[in-house]
Chains A and B, each alone.
Chain A
Amino acid sequence: MAKSSTGKGNARRSARAHAATGAGKVTATRPRRSRQAAAGAPPEPAPSDRLASTELTAGQQLELYRFMKLNRMLEERLGNLYRQGKVVGGLYSSRGQEATSVGSAYALAPQDFMGPLIRNLGSMLVRGVKPREVMMQYMAKGGSPTGGKDGNTHFGDLSRGLVAPISMLGALIPVMAGVALAGRMQGRDLVALTYIGDGGTSTGDFHEGLNLAAVLGVPLVVIAEHNGYAYSTPTSRQMRIQDIAARAAAYGIPGEIVDGNDVLAVHAVTQRAVERARAGGGPTLIESKTFRMKGHAEHDDAGYVPPELFERWRQRDPIERFERHLLAGGLATAEELARVAAVIDAELVAEMDFALASPMPPPERAFAGVYAT
């Protein structure tokens, strides 16, 4: 079945068992952690720095690296623009979560659909979003994908399989279930993927959407990014369980847990879920254990997060960790990785120049386009 996997025989077998017998079981794709957190505690980083084994080629792994690096460097550029006062509204960072976005999006086929959230810039980049589009969105420029009507990553483009989110968390899950349903009705070979955070799993739409998707058996994959905090609220104030994946049992669907800072593991587990969905096996809930390395938004210094927690997770930074993997495995040299960064930097400068030059939208646009005609 899976073209790639974590390569861990037992994880692979249990995934097969899921596909065969269904539902309701929670599988950890990595060994259980030595540090067992209390129910509702923020996730802890993986004890080992080693990444899951993969069947991805060296070229594909370098592509993953490029997307993660682009994700981070674009957000750093956006941070500069924010501090220069050029970003009109808030700025939201996915620092520390790049592997989850990029690894999961990379498991999709071109005909698949995705509903990203605010911390899934990396997923959007994998789907072909250009840095200038994101920059213009944040700067509310007339040339932005929404023409200045909406900001940040809140834009979509069906030709790239992208559905725009709304700020009300959970709402995308039933919507993406509907995308998956329509895809099935239309005979498209289509899987829908969307994301939710630990806090977002507390919403009614999370429950309604996953339950409906499970009952209808539509090809939907939901990735719950368990990043420890919903704005300032720790997981312990959201739920009395340690693993979000345990919620899958309530819907009779497979639940998987993955080390969200291991891009190869995220890719493998998503690929399995996508293939299961494509084969008619219905939805999967994947919990990605990761950590939000900044505040909720740029204005938030995250003073409520214990510094030692940041420090522990910094040692498992998904990009640096992947660099160590690439170098140790002889998949790339330090010079090659530096060149990737240099090319991205040059690209971002050009994209930023373009975005800055875009005019603000004409005021009369405020009144146009309420209705489709």
Chain B
Amino acid sequence: MSVVTYLEAIRQALWEEMESDPRVFLLGQDVGTYGGPFRVTAGMLDRFGPERVIDTPISESAMVGAAIGAAMLGMRPVVEMQFIDFISCAFNQIINFAGPNHYRWGQQVPLVIRGPAGGNVHGSAFHSQNPESYFQHTPGLKIVAPATVADAYGLLKAAIRDPNPVLYFEHKYLYRRIKAELPPTRPAGAVQPVRPDWPEPQGPEGAESVAGAAAVTGSDGEPVILGKARLARAGRDLSVITYGAMLHVAMEAAERLAAEGIDLEVLDLRTVKPLDEEAILATVRKTNRVLVLTEEQLSGSVAGEVAARIAERGFAWLDGPVHRLCCPDTPVPYSPTLEEAYLPNVDKLAARVRELASY
């Protein structure tokens, strides 16, 4: 076991998938020679060659479109958005082409769009966004947002092996701030050739057979499945449901509140779409008080969807209103004092928990 950062875990997962599966290739801006602005793809051009590590023009829509076309032919493209904010430039390809494709005509589109999301790094309005709520509305997409090193690794592998279009939102605040043990990178053998006997493209009926997804084993030895939440902390008094960087806010708040005699349960959603409704309702049933903590702007948020499902299906178990602690409905501000006011933090969470605990 070696200790790696969240960023290195992403890189390691990507590297291993590139090693083991010749269908996996990268499309993005500055991913090749430069290795990406955050160095996620550093060294990959040398290892896998320009055919599989493709620097593209500044054309997010064409990057995603090309990935869709390649995915239909059985490839497993991974598209990097230099910052996830720029995913908006590919909105049409994602919500109209990739998402509905399997429903419309039975053709799967196995691709991953990944990139750095989130704030708290003073990136201002266009380098800090959390765009998951735009995409949670679109049928056929999956959205993952890892909060831990183990999930950064396991969820990316699971996303690449999933037969659907998966948006993988990595939180840039966590890149070098959290570390954990991961299995060492597999020793590098010969790179798999891209051209083994390629199966003929199948009609919609046979499409599934092209791309059977092998299960991913996480660093804890457990299988990683998209759509499964993780109980990050068991508690009795109140549940915080969250994901991404906000998980760490919740865990720190839990320590502080424990000293005050409030025992928080923390559920890490890990997958924002599809939601693990079973796990959500289980924690509501257990603690009867729930706060949804996310880094999105409040209105139309994933947090709103979680709260709505609890209100609809868990109402009988609730001892108080479902609270949401999110960002205000403003663009992400630049100045540290403004961004601090904008983002949820441990103080704000603790205050809201105390309020909710008083019901």
Stretch at the interface among B192-200, B254-262, B325-333: B192-200
**Interface mask (B193-232 → A, CB under 8 Å = 1, otherwise 0):** 0110010111110111000000000000000000000000
Please, which residues of chain A bring their CB within 8 A of the CB of B62? 173-174, 177, 205, 208-209, 211-212
Please, which residues of chain A bring their CB within 8 A of the CB of B297? none
| Count of chain A residues near B, Cβ 8 A | 48
Stretch at the interface among A1-9, A159-167, A238-246, A310-318: A159-167
B2 CB to nearest chain A CB (Å): 32
Q: Counting CB contacts under 8 A, is A204 at the interface?
A: yes
B201 CB to nearest chain A CB (Å): 4
Q: Do B140 and A158 have beta carbons less than 8 Å apart?
A: no
Q: Do B104 and A164 have beta carbons less than 8 Å apart?
A: yes
Q: Which of A149, A164, A208 has most chain B Cβ within 10 Å?
A: A208
Please, which residues of chain B bring their CB within 8 A of the CB of A166? 96-97
Question: How many contacts A-B (CB < 8 Å)?
Answer: 169
Q: Do A158 and B164 have beta carbons less than 8 Å apart?
A: no
Report how far A79 CA is from B59 CA in the complex, Å. Answer: 40
Name which residue of chain B comes closest to A215, CB basis: B57
Name which residue of chain A comes closest to B139, CB basis: A370
Please, which residues of chain A bring their CB within 8 A of the CB of B51? 185
Q: Counting CB contacts under 8 A, is B349 at the interface?
A: no
Q: Do A146 and B104 have beta carbons less than 8 Å apart?
A: yes
Q: Do A178 and B65 have beta carbons less than 8 Å apart?
A: yes
Other-chain residue from B54, B102, B109 in contact with A369 (beta carbon distance below 8 A): B102
Indicate whether A175 sits within 8 Å of B57 (C-beta atoms), given known contacts A158-B72, A182-B70, A372-B164. Answer: no
Report how far A362 CA is from B208 CA in the complex, Å. Answer: 23
Q: Counting CB contacts under 8 A, is A373 at the interface?
A: yes
Residues 57-75 of B at the A interface (beta carbon under 8 Å): 57, 59, 61-75
Q: Do B204 and A157 have beta carbons less than 8 Å apart?
A: yes
Q: Counting CB contacts under 8 A, is B110 at the interface?
A: yes
Please, which residues of chain B bring their CB within 8 A of the CB of A369? 102-103, 106
Please, which residues of chain A bring their CB within 8 A of the CB of B57? 208, 211-212, 215
Q: Counting CB contacts under 8 A, is A346 at the interface?
A: no
A199 CB to nearest chain B CB (Å): 16
Q: Counting CB contacts under 8 A, is B33 at the interface?
A: no
Indicate whether A187 sits within 8 Å of B65 (C-beta atoms), given known contacts A154-B104, A157-B203, A369-B106. Answer: no
Please, which residues of chain B bring their CB within 8 A of the CB of A372? 102, 108-110, 163-164, 207-208
**Interface mask (A193-235 → B, CB under 8 Å = 1, otherwise 0):** 0000000000011001101100110000000000000000000
**Interface mask (B219-258 → A, CB under 8 Å = 1, otherwise 0):** 0000000000000000000000000000000000000000
Q: Do A208 and B61 have beta carbons less than 8 Å apart?
A: yes
**Interface mask (B18-32 → A, CB under 8 Å = 1, otherwise 0):** 000000010000000
Report how far A156 CA is from B25 CA in the complex, Å. Answer: 24
Q: Do B59 and A212 have beta carbons less than 8 Å apart?
A: yes
Q: Do A208 and B59 have beta carbons less than 8 Å apart?
A: yes
Q: Do B59 and A150 have beta carbons less than 8 Å apart?
A: no
Q: Counting CB contacts under 8 A, is A181 at the interface?
A: yes
Indicate whether A182 sits within 8 Å of B65 (C-beta atoms), given known contacts A158-B203, A372-B207. Answer: no
Report how far A171 CA is from B63 CA in the complex, Å. Answer: 11
Other-chain residue from B92, B105, B207 in contact with A164 (beta carbon distance below 8 A): B105
Report how far A290 CA is from B17 CA in the complex, Å. Answer: 48
A362 CB to nearest chain B CB (Å): 16
Q: Do B194 and A186 have beta carbons less than 8 Å apart?
A: yes
Please, which residues of chain B bring their CB within 8 A of the CB of A185? 25, 51-52, 70, 75, 194-195
Q: Counting CB contacts under 8 A, is A322 at the interface?
A: no
Q: Counting CB contacts under 8 A, is B301 at the interface?
A: no
Please, which residues of chain B bring their CB within 8 A of the CB of A204? 61
Please, which residues of chain A bring their CB within 8 A of the CB of B124? none
Indicate whether A163 sits within 8 Å of B72 (C-beta atoms), given known contacts A186-B194, A187-B194, A372-B207. Answer: yes
Report how far A211 CA is from B63 CA in the complex, Å. Answer: 11
Q: Do A178 and B70 have beta carbons less than 8 Å apart?
A: yes
Name which residue of chain A comes closest to B59, CB basis: A208
Q: Counting CB contacts under 8 A, is B128 at the interface?
A: no
Q: Counting CB contacts under 8 A, is A285 at the interface?
A: no
Report how far A97 CA is from B54 CA in the complex, Å. Answer: 37
Q: Counting CB contacts under 8 A, is B107 at the interface?
A: yes
Q: Counting CB contacts under 8 A, is A283 at the interface?
A: no
Report how far A164 CA is from B205 CA in the complex, Å. Answer: 15
Q: Do B65 and A205 have beta carbons less than 8 Å apart?
A: yes
Please, which residues of chain B bring their CB within 8 A of the CB of A187? 194-195, 198
Please, which residues of chain A bring their CB within 8 A of the CB of B97? 166, 168, 171, 175
Q: Counting CB contacts under 8 A, is A155 at the interface?
A: yes
Report how far A159 CA is from B202 CA in the complex, Å. Answer: 5
Name which residue of chain A comes closest to B54, CB basis: A216
6 A-B pairs within 8 Å (CB atoms) are namely: A149-B104, A171-B96, A177-B65, A181-B70, A183-B73, A185-B51
8 closest cross-chain pairs (CB), A and B: A178-B69, A174-B65, A178-B66, A372-B108, A208-B62, A158-B201, A182-B73, A182-B70
Q: Other than the known A175-B97, A186-B198, A372-B110, what 17 A-B pairs have Cβ atoms closer than 8 Å?
A: A145-B204, A149-B104, A150-B104, A158-B204, A164-B101, A164-B107, A166-B96, A178-B72, A178-B73, A182-B74, A186-B75, A188-B198, A212-B62, A215-B56, A215-B57, A369-B106, A372-B163
